[in-house]
Structure 1
Amino acid sequence: MAEATGLAAPAAADDDQATLHAPAGASAPSSPPPAPAARGRRLPRVVWALPPVAVLGVVLLYPLALVVQQSLAPDRGGAFSGYTAVLGSAAFREALGTTVWLAAGATVGCLLLGFVLALIIAFVPFPGARAVAKFIDVFLSFPSFLITLALLFIYGTVGMANGVWTDVTGASEGPFHFLTTPWGVLLAEITYFTPFVVRPLLAAFSQLDTAQLEVASSLGAGPARVIRRVILPEALPALAAGGSLVLVMCLNEFGIVLFTGAKDVTTLPMLVYGKAILESDYPAACVVAVVNIVISVGLFGLYRVVSKRAGA
């Protein structure tokens, strides 16, 4: 130990002498400059960001720019002459009104039905409640036309309901012909989009403190009052988020209206289809498409704000 200490001391002394004999203006030796590989580590972040940006531009932004450019076609007497002609037409006003009232009606129906179903699944014990909740998750992946076809099998002209009616009464045809009317479209949209309200409600109910329900029940509050005073305030953010999402999707729904065969129901997506495919009036179709996009993006922004406040 003594020898080790004696050997270490001169080394320390040598270091002190080197420090003392260093020039007055000299600074302590700095760390070596970073290697070229270290300096280039930030470059791949920019390089890896370029491919998705390029794909996004080619797949989404470029077609969208073409639609906007086509809607501003100058061969109609001016850049905005197409908008003036289309927005002032009776067909556009009728399609806009039909789209708005169908979307609003479907949203209200989905909120009411979804709230009742979520209450039953979350708070009413019955066998298979978990299986029903799982099925709702699977139902969200179904295409919209599948639900419409199912309704056609039940309420169509030659569907089960009309078949039972004719068998029982002996009539030549059944009384159910509403699927080809706006009410049939409304029923199909409520049937398809209700799970989009039930899912966030179930998530909200799973975080509800059951002690509040027990305290309210112990104080003599009935089920209706517990729902109104305890459950509903907790469910409002989820209802707002789910309702906003349903409203956006109903405004852009095309498959349900097409598969119901409701020829007298013309929404904005159906008007785009008619102008582009049936009439080959692409500038007018692009005008309607741009208007539909603006409305949808605005409502989607509202949905994002509501979802962020709801914590979704």
Structure 2
Amino acid sequence: MTAHPAPTADAPPAAHAPEPPADPVPGRAPRRLPVWVWAVPPVALLAAVFLYPLALVAAESVAAPGGGLTLAHHADVLGSESFRSALGTTVFVAVTSTAGCLVLGFLLALVVAFVPFPGSGATARFIDTYLSFPSFLITLALLFVYGTVGMANGMWTDLTGAESGPFRFLATPWGVILAEITYFTPFVMRPLLAAFGQLDTAQLEVASSLGARPLRVVREVILPEARPALVAGGALVLVLCLNEFAIVLFTGAKDVVTLPMLVYQAAILRSDYTTACVVATVNAALSVSLYLVYRAATARLSSDGGRRARA
């Protein structure tokens, strides 16, 4: 039997572990807020900041002068020659610019991803930085080169002694298309480079070892894998080109009237806010419709890609 020493007067009392607080209502789980309550603040903020101004624009486009609703404004604007001309110009510029961005972006992405050269990594990082540039900055740079008093016309007049140079295309639809291709091509390259980074290089090596030429490798191996990225980048660029305003304004193309320019002319130059709201509503409807088509196309391409991978 072992004897334990008796506690002295200087020894501190033994510490006792604190007891957990008793449940006031035994057997009842703590009350939790419903999940939908947490969605109320962000939805309310979104409605106040974004949806309410859009609702005001849509309401103004169908507001009758004496109160109530009417579609007479839409009928007048949609039936006017100026709107039809602006719609045709918008579609032509947007589709042509998107096609140019797809072709140029695909070729440049192939070079950056598969052609080894010094500085390829820096080039890819520059593309990410280029996406942050404002569109009017690129247009201003083109004006310095190809504008009426730009470098190209200045060199021409110095060499030939002519009073003016031949480069005047920036004030035409083709000048707007050139500026949009220059600015929006990196928006196609970025998803393509991401898709090329996930491509199994063994497929390229096998195709090359079997004697496939580079164009056939691109057509049968690289292009099918890059199709979802091409669709995503092309749809994004098409939406951006439909709504582009700064490039058209800074090129000084007075005869190139797109839907955003028509909104600007009606609201700012003529103070015709009803017409501006009608055109803005139609432009927004076109953009949303295109976005829905883009979502459906990317979902189908993703499912097709998953089926090919499982096969």
TM range (shorter): 0.7 to 0.9
Return the alpha-carbon distance in structure 1 between the equivalents of residues 132 and 38 of structure 2.
32
SS in 2 for 1:42: coil
Structure 2 residue 102 is matched with structure 1 residue 108: no
Q: What residue in structure 2 maps to residue 271 of structure 1? A: 262
5 Å matches for 1:150-161? 150-161=141-152
Give the alignment partner of residue 296 of structure 1, picking from 287, 304, 307: 287
Larger radius of gyration: 1
Q: What residue in structure 2 maps to residue 197 of structure 1? A: 188
SS in 2 for 1:189: helix
Give the alignment partner of residue 158 of structure 2, picking from 164, 167, 182: 167
Query: Counterpart amino acid of 2:27?
Result: P
Q: What residue in structure 2 maps to residue 63 of structure 1? A: 53
Return the alpha-carbon distance in structure 2 between the equivalents of residues 107 and 173 of structure 1.
32
Q: What residue in structure 2 maps to residue 33 of structure 1? A: 27
Return the alpha-carbon distance in structure 2 between the equivalents of residues 275 and 155 of structure 1.
30
Query: Counterpart amino acid of 1:66?
Result: L
CA RMSD of aligned residues (A): 1.8
SS in 1 for 2:175: helix
Give 1:33 deviation, angstroms: 3.2
Give 1:232 deviation, angstroms: 1.0
Give 1:92 deviation, angstroms: 0.2
The Cα offsets for residues 143-167 of structure 1, whole Å up to 9 and x where unpaired, read as 1111100101111111111111112
Return the alpha-carbon distance in structure 1 between the equivalents of residues 199 and 36 of structure 2.
44
Q: What residue in structure 1 maps to residue 62 of structure 2? A: 72
5 Å matches for 1:276-291? 276-291=267-282
Summarize the Cα distance change of 1:76–1:295 in structure 2 as closer, same or farther, 3 Å threshold.
farther
Query: Counterpart amino acid of 1:58?
Result: A
Query: Counterpart amino acid of 1:117?
Result: L
Return the alpha-carbon distance in structure 1 between the equivalents of residues 91 and 27 of structure 2.
65
Return the alpha-carbon distance in structure 2 between the equivalents of residues 56 and 172 of structure 1.
56
Return the alpha-carbon distance in structure 1 between the equivalents of residues 152 and 262 of structure 2.
32
Return the alpha-carbon distance in structure 1 between the equivalents of residues 66 and 271 of structure 2.
15
Which has the larger share of helix? 1
Q: What residue in structure 1 maps to residue 87 of structure 2? A: 96
The Cα offsets for residues 228-253 of structure 1, whole Å up to 9 and x where unpaired, read as 11111111111111101111110000
Give 1:272 deviation, angstroms: 0.6
Return the alpha-carbon distance in structure 2 between the equivalents of residues 112 and 213 of structure 1.
21
Query: Counterpart amino acid of 1:33?
Result: G
Structure 2: runs of 5+ lacking an equivalent = 1-24, 303-311
Which segment drifts farther, 217-226 or 73-82? 73-82
List structure 1 runs of 4+ shifted beyond 6 angstroms.
none
Q: What residue in structure 1 maps to residue 41 of structure 2? A: 51
Q: What residue in structure 1 maps to residue 140 of structure 2? A: 149
Q: What residue in structure 1 maps to residue 197 of structure 2? A: 206
Give 1:303 deviation, angstroms: 2.2
Which segment drifts farther, 84-93 or 64-73? 64-73
5 Å matches for 1:225-236? 225-236=216-227
SS in 2 for 1:194: helix
Structure 1: runs of 5+ lacking an equivalent = 1-30
Return the alpha-carbon distance in structure 1 between the equivalents of residues 38 and 215 of structure 2.
56
Return the alpha-carbon distance in structure 1 between the equivalents of residues 66 and 142 of structure 2.
44
Return the alpha-carbon distance in structure 1 between the equivalents of residues 48 and 220 of structure 2.
51
8 Å contact kept, 1:204–1:234: yes
Query: Counterpart amino acid of 1:62?
Result: Y
8 Å contact kept, 1:237–1:309: no
Give 1:53 deviation, angstroms: 1.8
Give 1:199 deviation, angstroms: 0.6
Return the alpha-carbon distance in structure 2 between the equivalents of residues 242 and 188 of structure 1.
18
Which segment drifts farther, 197-206 or 45-54? 45-54
Give 1:46 deviation, angstroms: 4.7
Return the alpha-carbon distance in structure 1 between the equivalents of residues 220 and 38 of structure 2.
52
SS in 2 for 1:153: helix
Return the alpha-carbon distance in structure 2 between the equivalents of residues 194 and 284 of structure 1.
33
SS in 1 for 2:254: coil
